[in-house]
Amino acid sequence: MLEKDTPRALEEAIRSLEGQFAALPEFSGAAAGPIGAVMGEVAARLGDNYPYFHPLYAGQMLKPPHPVARAAYALATWINPNNHALDGGRASSEMEREAVAQLAAMFGWREHLGHLTGGGTMANLEALWVAGSLNPGKKIVASAQSHYTHQRISSVLQLPFAKVATEARGRMDPAALEEMLKEGDVGCVVATLGTTATGSVDPLPEILALRQRYGFRVHIDAAYGGYFTLADNLGPETRSAFDRIREADSIVIDPHKHGLQPYGCGCVLFHDPGVGTLYKHDSPATYFSSRQQHLGEISLECSRPGASAVALWATLRVLPLAPGGAFAQGLASCRRAALALHARLSADARFVTPFPPQLDIAVWKPQKGSAQRIFDEAARRNLHLALARLPGTFFGDPAPEILCLRSVLMKPEHEQWIDRIWEILDQAANS
Ligand SMILES: Cc1ncc(COP(=O)(O)O)c(C=O)c1O
């Protein structure tokens, strides 16, 4: 069940890499020593996990990396480049620039400034830091369903923050936003294209129309949903939001969510490369090797794994970000899987669904009994779902919050597994 071709490809690549340093004097290098026993222990410890790689893991936002990402990441650790400065990783810095340019191009940006980050939190932190620096003292606002990181980051940056109410489908309510804008103190609106809990997509066209009247920065948190811009089966409202991403000031997208990368790979993009001047600093020890820009000069994090850039670059070679390509078709399958699960749930009197998925996340609650019990009974049968506390308003219920079931169907194979998933869910609900 676990992919095992990677080590063979890796071994060949290690030899090829070594060949490039053949002019160096012979040196035996650090021997691996007796690591077999420890690796056995490591494998034994790692077994204590949910089976994230398997299609019956249909809970949280977890997707296995592509084999080429795994192999390229591991290969890079033989060099261990640091993309802080060109001295630390010439090739991997170049690969980062190329990979980031492909992400920017996916959203329609040729001119941009951007780099990889440790994840979505760091990427959003940089975007809000830039927003706060350009509009000092003004508020950051994001929907009540936005990731909690925005409120926390704003507090770290000491920027005022407020939540905008959502409508019944978990999307930012433009009327509530306009009420806030009338106060005249909003500097940046965060539009989430793919909320963490339900995959809801904020109404970007309406937000952009408000920008014309009130003037504010638009930051898009597409950490989760960004790649869906390539899918050819989005609903018209969702499509209209994705088609306008290019009009934003900044975008966050996480290759370590839908982009088949190991954890430690987020990305922040700015439309105006001029914001790079905000990062200006002096580094008396690092920047001597080149007059070219070092990625550390446009990033708040200093040391960063070149291996992440190498893995992303290699994945994009295998699966380019092309509409209609294999990667785009995989995303469309994920969405079909979520729609199929939603259709079965809505047709079954034992369950209540609030709204159809905009991306590939299905949510529902049991008509009677507890979501927790179904979650536990499904897990006993090897189907791993997630739980989410959602506002009662999503179900037309006066309760402030309702514990619901949630399934992020982010593996393309999920589409083929819906019958099996449903069979187990059915048994769990009846048990
Ligand atoms: C929409 C959104 N933004 C930001 C984040 C935070 O990203 P990370 O966990 O990579 O720091 C997440 C994580 O799930 C997310 O879904």
Closest CA to 249 of 337, 133, 414, 349: 133
**Within a domain: residue 42?**
no
**Residue 96 sits in the same domain as residue 167:** yes
What pTM, to 2 d.p., does this model score?
Answer: 0.97
Q: Is-contact 376 403, C-beta < 8 A?
A: no
Domain end position, chosen among 284, 318, 352: 318
Q: Are 312 and 261 in contact (CB under 8 A)?
A: yes
What residue's CA is closest to ligand 1, atom 9?
A: 120
Domains identified in the chain, total number: 2
Query: What pLDDT is recorded for position 291?
Result: 61
Q: Which of 254, 256, 261, 360 to mutate to test the pocket of ligand 1 (most atoms within 8 A of CB)?
A: 254
Amino acid symbol at 196: T
Tokens 């200006």 belong to residue: 280
On whether residue 135 sits in a domain, the answer given is yes
Closest Cα to atom 16 of ligand 1: 196
Confirm whether 50 is domain-assigned.
no
- Same domain for 314 and 181: yes
Q: Which atom of ligand 1 is nearest to the CA of 119?
A: 10
Looking at the CA of residue 266, tell me the nearest atom of ligand 1.
10
The answer to the question of residue 221 being in a domain is yes
Yes or no: say if 308 and 94 are a contact pair by the CB < 8 Å rule. no
Residues 265 and 124 in one domain: yes
The atom number, within ligand 1, closest to the CA of 225 reads: 1
Q: Which two tokens stand for residue 178?
A: 């306009």
221 lines ligand 1 (CB under 6 A): yes
Asked if the structure places residue 25 within a domain, the reply is no
Q: Whose CA is nearest to atom 14 of ligand 1?
A: 196
Q: Are residues 311 and 246 in the same domain?
A: yes
Q: Are strands 266-270 and 351-352 parallel, antiparallel or unpaired?
A: unpaired
Does any ligand 1 atom lie closer than 6 A to the CB of residue 173? no
Q: d(Cα 268, Cα 51) in Å, to the nearest integer? A: 30
H or E segment and range at residue 403: strand 401-408
Query: Is the distance from the beta carbon of residue 121 to the nearest atom of ligand 1 less than 6 Å?
Result: yes
Domain C-terminal end among 318, 350, 376:
318
**Alpha carbons 238 and 356: distance in angstroms, whole number:** 12
- The pLDDT score that the predictor gives to residue 280 is 80
Q: How many residues does the chain have?
A: 431
Which residues have C-beta within 8 Å of that of residue 379, sequence separation ≥ 6?
A: 385
267 lines ligand 1 (CB under 6 A): no
CA-CA distance, 200 to 220, in Å (whole number)?
13
- Look at residue 143 in the predicted model and tell me its pLDDT: 98
| Same structural domain, 94 and 138 | yes
Same structural domain for residues 158 and 196? yes
The response to whether residue 146 sits with its C-beta less than 6 Å from ligand 1 reads no
Q: Which residue has the tokens 């739980």?
A: 387
CATH number at residue 302: 3.40.640.10
Same domain (yes/no): 117, 264: yes
What are phi and psi for residue 196, nearest 5 degrees?
Answer: -65, -40
Kind and range of the H or E run holding 91: helix 90-106
For residue 216 and ligand 1, the question of a CB distance below 6 A is answered with no
Ligand 1 site-directed mutation target among 62, 117, 125, 149, most atoms within 8 Å of CB: 149
Indicate whether 193 and 307 sit together in one domain.
Answer: yes
- Helix extents (H) in 303-370: 306-318, 326-346
Domain identity same for 135 and 95: yes
Q: Which residues contact 107 (CB under 8 A, 6 or more apart)?
A: 226, 229, 245, 246, 251, 269
Coil, strand or helix: which one is 100? helix
User: pLDDT at position 284, please?
Assistant: 66
Q: Is the CB of 61 inside a 6 Å radius of any atom of ligand 1?
A: yes
Distance CA 208, CA 190 (A): 11
User: What angle is formed at CA 347 by the lines to CA 345 and CA 349, rounded to 5 degrees?
Assistant: 85
Q: Are 269 and 279 in contact (CB under 8 A)?
A: no
> Is residue 61 in a domain?
no
* Same domain as 392, residue 292: no
Closest CA to 361 of 230, 194, 143, 121: 194
Please tell me the distance from the alpha carbon of residue 188 to that of residue 195, in angstroms, as a whole number. 18
Give the domain CATH number at 425: 3.90.1150.10
272 and 366 both lie in a single domain: no
Q: What is the mean pLDDT of each run of 10 residues along the chain (431 residues)?
A: 92 96 88 90 97 98 97 97 91 97 98 97 98 97 98 98 98 98 98 98 98 98 98 98 98 98 98 92 65 81 96 98 98 98 98 98 97 98 98 97 98 98 98 92
The answer to whether the CB of 255 is under 6 A from ligand 1 is no
331 plus 375 within the same structural domain:
yes
Ligand 1 atom with least separation from CA of 263: 10
122 CA to centre of ligand 1 in angstroms: 9
Domain span holding position 268: 90-318
The residue whose CB lies within 8 Å of the most ligand 1 atoms, and thus the one to mutate among 63, 125, 224, 268, is 224
- Single residue among 263, 286, 318 that ends a domain in this structure: 318
For residue 11, tell me if it sits in a domain: no
Residue 337 located in a structural domain: yes
* Spacing, Cα 399 to ligand 1 middle (Å): 27
